Structures are given as C-alpha cells and as structure tokens.
Structure 1
C-alpha cells in the first residue's frame, strides 16, 4: 500500500488534522474508485501548503471522507468511517451491544405516518430470546409512545426500551389497507448487553414425504471465529445423508470473503483448487489482485465436510442479503444450479478492508492520538467468469416476499420461503398466491437503525 505522495512535515498538527491527513492518504492509497475522484489524484497538490489548506476546508474527518466517495447514492453506498475502531473490531468478530431482536417496520396503511413493527429474528440465547419473544410478534409502540415515521429511529435506537405489543387482524381480506393493528396491553423491556452471535442460527435435517433428506441452514454472518461451527453443521448434514440443501441467507449481510469460500467448498467438494471468486483492486494495487479457491481444508482447523451437491436453494431478502452472501450465490452459480427464492438482493459486489492511521495502514503501530479507522471499498469481487453481482441485486428465480402477518417459524417446513423450496424439491409446482405475497408495499426503510456491518464484505489479512 502507498503512504501518500509526500510527507506531512507538521509534527505539531492537532489530532483533527492528523485524522484528516489519515483520511486523505488512506483513500489515496487503497480506494477502489480513486481514478474517478479528482481530489485523490497523486498530483492533486503541488505543495504541503496546498494540501494543508485543502484539509482545513473540511469541518470534520467525516465530511472529508464523504466528499471522497464515488457516487454515494448509487455506486459507493457502503464505504464507512468510524471514530471508534474497537467497536468495529468487536462487530467483525460478532460481538456487539444487542438485545437480540431484528424486525421489519411498516406503515399501518398506505400513505400513513403511523408505523408498526414485526419481529423477524430472535437471536439464540439473547436478551429477547430469554424473554420468550418470537418471530412474528407485532409491536405498535415503544415506551407507551405510538411509533411514527419521525420517531421510530430515536425510540428504537435506545440501549433500553419497552416494546408495547399489538394484535394483527387482516380483516378477512387480502387488502392490507383494511388491516387493523391494536395494542393488546402486553409489553417487554429489553436492554442491550454485550452479545456474541454464533451465525449458525439453525442447522437441521428435514425428511420429506418421499424420504428425501434436506439440510436447512440459517446462516447469519460470515464470521471466521465460527468457521468450525459452520463445518460441524455440514458434518451433521453428511451424517444424516442430506442430498438437498436450503441455505437461508435472508438476514446475512456478509462478512469474511475467505469464510464465504469455505462455505462454497462445504456445499460442493468436487471443485477443489478451482477458482471460487476473484478480487480486483484499483489500478495502483494490481499486485494485490487475488483468487479465492475451492478448498478441502480450513486453515489451521482441518478437513472441510463437503456435501458434493450440484444444486442448492438460497433464501434471500432485499434489505439484508448482501455482499459475501451475494458472492456465494454468484460464485456457485458458475459451477452448480443455484435456485434463489425470495427478493432481489442488495447488490453489493465490492469488498472492503479496515485501514488504520499507521505507516502501512495496518493496526500495528497505529497512531495513539485517535481511534478513527476506515472501511473503504478496495476491490471488486467476481466469480470465475469475471461476472459481477448486479448493482440492483440478484434477481430471484422464485420471487417471494416475507409477509408481515404470515412470517412463519424459521426452520418449520410450512414457513413460506422454506415451504417454497420444499415444493420445488418435490416437483409439486409452486404456490398459487406467490404474486399476492410479493406485493407488500408498506415496508419502510430502517435508515438510522442499520447495523454498521449489516451489508459488509471484508478482506481479512490472515
């Protein structure tokens, strides 16, 4: 990596100037879209004075960072900066402050400012799990304040809050505009605590009516600390004689590229040493270009348990299935039949790396005067055929949305997305109401509540 095109000779610079200097030099060194940003050109400044004046023109490191992103609304929606890299490091290892609850938010009726929530996921052994909260539960207020489009961020971003639950009545029709959501007097108080998530949320084998053994894996994050747990899940599938696999990535925003390659190798096994995915860096870092290969071992842990499948079903959503999850779909699709059930994925084909304020941008010898770090996009990820994940996401083969009043129980054969996979495996046709269930237009974005690593794919130096 580069260290900038000239030395900063102001040894007495205040911490903010140090941070701005780190932001510019780090982006100049590694940013994938450097050539598209005139202010990142190596010859942008002729003197140290010009450079110092440029940095001084930004009120904060964050504003400088945002100014250096390429088309942030459409192309680079994912580069980020943090003022506390310790939180970032913990999050990458699956450790964060959490109450274990994930949810979707909806308008009560079309055009309404009133909002309600539906619990979509309760993490194992979390605060929410220990309170007995379950997927599908509805809430309409927090701390006895009804949710609206203007207050949901502040109410639900608190470290401690009380959910006020409601009953959902579809009024006996398929028209969601006449649905009724009524507070029922029940509530629970949730307080965030330090929590470590095992991303292997569910791993079970289902036996279908024709005795087909189907492995169902809900996998929520490509975390290298839990690669052995992932491999153990596939050992169980092997022992059960699994011949079909449903990989549930609907809440998996990504993670380690190498872990994604291990997962692809567990699903297959017949392509060892062939190219799984590729990374391409900017024009100044072409020596960093790298191929990730199918493999039969996990570095430092032993043999991979592989199913040698020629087909896999993947369950997706357009808010959470991103990055390394999309890499798995895109990479495997070049080799085997990948049937995607759900929604268009997020559309993140780029990988990032965490860089710090040090001579080589690594954590060693980091500047002790601040805790800033960046995760800029540094490489494009493709499959073996040099195909990118589309910017608008991967289109499902079977379009199916999670419906707020019929979420179902994860892992249950009757849960709508899993049921669709089972129906296809049995060859008994598709559900007649797929398109009806695809039109839930009241879902609103959770901007302000998105986890920092919810749509991430990062390169580990290991």
Structure 2
C-alpha cells in the first residue's frame, strides 16, 4: 500500500534538488516516527539521497529512498544472480571459504548448476581471504557479471573443481518448500518460503490444505533466511496456523508519532488490507495448532519477526536456531501522487513501532531462540527440509520429546580439518539488514 502526498506549493523550480528535498522534508514532518527530531534548517541543495541521509535520525537503521525502476538508486543485493552465501574462517584462521546457502529457482545460479552447500574459493579469480571477503562481495553487488571458483574438500585437502560465470537477471517469486515428515508416530508439516511478498498467504493455501488433509499435528516453519515483507501476509499465515482464530481477534498495535498516534488492528483486518486474500477462505485451511516450531538465523527479519512475536498471544512459539535480526518497526511507501508527478523519488521511512495483541514489542536487539543451533556447525549444508539438517533435526527432536539443547549435542558430520569459527561476511544477513516491515497508512 502507499499514501498520497498532496500538492503543496513550492518556491523552488520543479526538478531541482531544493524542490525534491522540500517535498521529502514535508513528508517526513507528517509521517516519520522521529519527526520531532528533524533538523530545522537542513541543506536543501544536496542530492536527494544525500539529503535524506543527512536528516535521518541517528536511531533510524532502516529507512531509505529510491526511484522506481532506477537501479542506480536501489539497494543492491545478490537476488538478481540467484544465490546467497556466507564466508567463514576455520578455527585456526588458516583457511577461508565461501559456502552457498540459497540457490533460487530459475536463476543464473541454478542454471549454472550452483547448489546449496557448494564451497566457493574464488570470486573473479581472486582467492577469498579474511581481508578481502567484504570487498569481493561489494564487487558482486556492483557487477552485472562475475565468476565464482568452486572447490571441494577431499582427504583434508581443498581442491578447485570448476568456475561458474553468472550474469544479472530478473528473478521471479520463489515457490515454497512444503512436505510432511513422519517421526515417532507424529505427522509434522514442514514449510519454507523466502519472503512475505504480496499474495503469499493466498499462494500457500494449497500447502495448508495438504497439511490439513494429511492430519499433521505439528508444524515446522522455516524462516531462517526470510527477510520479511508485508504485515498482511504474516497475518494471513498466522490465521492458517493458530487455534481459535476469528476475524476480530486483536493482532497488532502500531505506535507512531503524534500525527499517527496509536492504532490497533484485528488479525482479519491486518490480513485483508491489501486485498489479496479472502479471510474466510484462509480460515478454511486453519490447522488449529497449539504450538509452532520456527527456525531462525540472523537473516530472519522484519515480517518474520513480527510473525514470531504476534503469534505468541495465540499459541506457544518455540524458536530454534539463532537470534533474529531485530526489526520491530514498520513503513509504508510515500510517493508524489500529483498529476503530473513532480517528484520521482519514493520514500520508505520508519513510521511505526510494532507490538502484538498483548502490547509486547521491543525486540530491536533480536528475538533469542529457545533452542540454540548454528547450521554452520554441521557441514556440508543439506537441502532445505532434509530431516538431517541440524535445525530441522532439532525441531523434530523437540516435537518427539528428545529435545536437543545445544548444537554440540548433535552429531557433527564435518571433517575435523575444517571447522567454521567466524563469519566474515553473509550476503543474506546483509539483505535482511536492508529490509523493512511493510504495512499501510492507517485511517
């Protein structure tokens, strides 16, 4: 959703930095969470992005501006190449290696044969080191084309295998991974999806219909790489999971500046504000569960965290993995709706702090897991949903009464010659840092 910005008069020529920045400042004075701390006499002559950053509050970690369809103003990421990876050093700091975490379907990475768990030794022909890991990632973000040198570990020796060439491309929305796992007499649903894009809840009704027909009694929701998105989709998904859900159940409270005030919404209102779902159709797939197991990492952010926090008043939430990113704030898009348009920039400022139906929020430092698991402690990485995956394995163990409290208690399948000790760079975590919870302008 978006809000329209009116046709205020300006003494500055249309198209000038001053005209654009005056519009930005006026918009922020109305909607920005920290509007009362905006500077009184900012430099309107700066380029718009520099101006926005110069007046952004020091507590604001996530607001940004961009011009639609202008990649030079967009926040860069690995998505257009179709993969994310992390760079780790071993316990002796003698070896640094990249590990592929995600490969998107129908992407340059998948077409090149890249897969989750592959090891990267070189980027653009340069050996990855602790000193250049972030620099090489920046090269990727600034490129339309680059190469990856892949390697494998055999008999405690790293050997280069092949080089992969990747070109930037448009990537379509990704399908979920959904399956039913049977363990110790229990039927367990497993569901993984990458983000909370518009239409997600509606697209997942078939998966939940299958869970319901299979008679699952437990659910593992894999949000380990989910950087978030729309409040509406998180609400719709919650409505298919938790027991005793009705349209008018309190779900979310928004706290804004003096102009925005404090507003609350029911789960039905929150789920349907973007018009992509019929709430009664969603409720038909409701599983009526009393608890859910959610997998998380530092890349779990935004609407994923909102879902974790806002499910808690309904059912028990068992979080497995690592502490989440910590995004307890929301934004809506502000654009110039005048005709003709005078300003091309769109604003995505923090407008609200978020709280669940019990008034609980304040997770800006992240949400801590109930069961600590680091998937990097057990290599090679397995395909998402594999029951041997350490995070899935821990969830199944907790469900069946054999809960594993630490990763050290698990069988380590990694050769002793390379044990990850420190994360030097994680492209998915960087993407999560740049995401924002998206909602609508409250009436």
Cα distance in 2 for partners of 1:371, 1:27 equals 16
Secondary structure of the 1:217 match is strand
Instruction: Classify 1:166/1:151 alpha carbon distance in 2 versus 1 (closer, same or farther; 3 Å).
Output: same
Query: 163, 176, 196: which is aligned to 2:148?
Result: 163
What is the aligned residue count?
Answer: 418
- Offset of residue 64 of structure 1: 2.0
Contact 1:355 1:375 survives alignment (8 Å): yes
2:416 corresponds to: none
Cα distance in 2 for partners of 1:227, 1:392 equals 28
Contact 2:250 2:357 survives alignment (8 Å): yes
Cα distance in 2 for partners of 1:428, 1:245 equals 16
Cα distance in 2 for partners of 1:297, 1:350 equals 18
Contact 1:106 1:444 survives alignment (8 Å): yes
Cα distance in 1 for partners of 2:9, 2:425 equals 42
Query: 313, 331, 355: which is aligned to 2:293?
Result: 313
- Offset of residue 385 of structure 1: 1.1
- Offset of residue 70 of structure 1: 2.3
Instruction: Classify 1:433/1:109 alpha carbon distance in 2 versus 1 (closer, same or farther; 3 Å).
Output: closer
Deviations 1:241-279 (A, max 9, x none): 111000000111111111110011011141212111221
> Is 1:191 the counterpart of 2:191 in the alignment?
no
- Offset of residue 223 of structure 1: 1.2
Instruction: Classify 1:216/1:15 alpha carbon distance in 2 versus 1 (closer, same or farther; 3 Å).
Output: same
1:243 corresponds to: 217
Deviations 1:117-164 (A, max 9, x none): 101111123232233321110001122222223531243222222210
Cα distance in 1 for partners of 2:92, 2:258 equals 48
Query: 233, 236, 243: which is aligned to 1:262?
Result: 236
Q: What is the TM-score of this pair, normalised by structure 2? A: 0.85
Deviations 1:1-33 (A, max 9, x none): 8969x9544253542222211221121111012
Query: 336, 347, 356: which is aligned to 2:326?
Result: 347
Query: 48, 54, 57: which is aligned to 1:67?
Result: 54
Q: Which runs of 5+ in 2 are unaligned?
A: 413-418
> Is 1:204 the counterpart of 2:189 in the alignment?
no
Instruction: Classify 1:267/1:19 alpha carbon distance in 2 versus 1 (closer, same or farther; 3 Å).
Output: same
Cα distance in 1 for partners of 2:106, 2:4 equals 44
Cα distance in 1 for partners of 2:112, 2:331 equals 36
1:32 corresponds to: 33
- Offset of residue 187 of structure 1: 1.8
2:397 corresponds to: 423
- Offset of residue 96 of structure 1: 9.7
> Is 1:335 the counterpart of 2:314 in the alignment?
yes
Instruction: Classify 1:233/1:170 alpha carbon distance in 2 versus 1 (closer, same or farther; 3 Å).
Output: farther
Mean CA deviation greater in 134-143 or 342-351? 134-143
Contact 1:347 1:391 survives alignment (8 Å): yes
Instruction: Classify 1:271/1:227 alpha carbon distance in 2 versus 1 (closer, same or farther; 3 Å).
Output: closer
Secondary structure of the 1:255 match is coil
Secondary structure of the 1:107 match is strand
2:87 corresponds to: 105
Deviations 1:368-425 (A, max 9, x none): 4553111100011100111114221101000111216332221111111000000111
Q: What is the TM-score of this pair, normalised by structure 1? A: 0.81
Instruction: Classify 1:325/1:285 alpha carbon distance in 2 versus 1 (closer, same or farther; 3 Å).
Output: same
- Offset of residue 430 of structure 1: 1.3
2:108 corresponds to: 127
Matching of residues 62-461 of structure 1 within 5 Å: 62-71=49-58, 75-82=59-66, 84-86=67-69, 98-107=80-89, 115-147=96-128, 148-149=132-133, 151-157=135-141, 158-168=143-153, 171=156, 182-198=158-174, 200-208=175-183, 210-272=184-246, 273-286=248-261, 289-294=263-268, 299=275, 301-302=277-278, 303-304=281-282, 305-318=285-298, 320-356=299-335, 358=336, 364-365=337-338, 368-403=341-376, 405-430=379-404, 433-434=407-408, 441-446=421-426, 450-451=430-431, 454-460=434-440
1:23 corresponds to: 24
Deviations 1:318-364 (A, max 9, x none): 1x1011111111111122110000001011100011111x2xxxxx3
Secondary structure of the 1:413 match is coil
Instruction: Classify 1:207/1:449 alpha carbon distance in 2 versus 1 (closer, same or farther; 3 Å).
Output: closer
Secondary structure of the 2:204 match is helix
Instruction: Classify 1:366/1:460 alpha carbon distance in 2 versus 1 (closer, same or farther; 3 Å).
Output: farther
Mean CA deviation greater in 162-171 or 392-401? 162-171
Contact 1:69 1:76 survives alignment (8 Å): yes
Deviations 1:150-189 (A, max 9, x none): 5312432222222100124695xxxxxxxx6x34131221
Instruction: Classify 1:111/1:25 alpha carbon distance in 2 versus 1 (closer, same or farther; 3 Å).
Output: farther
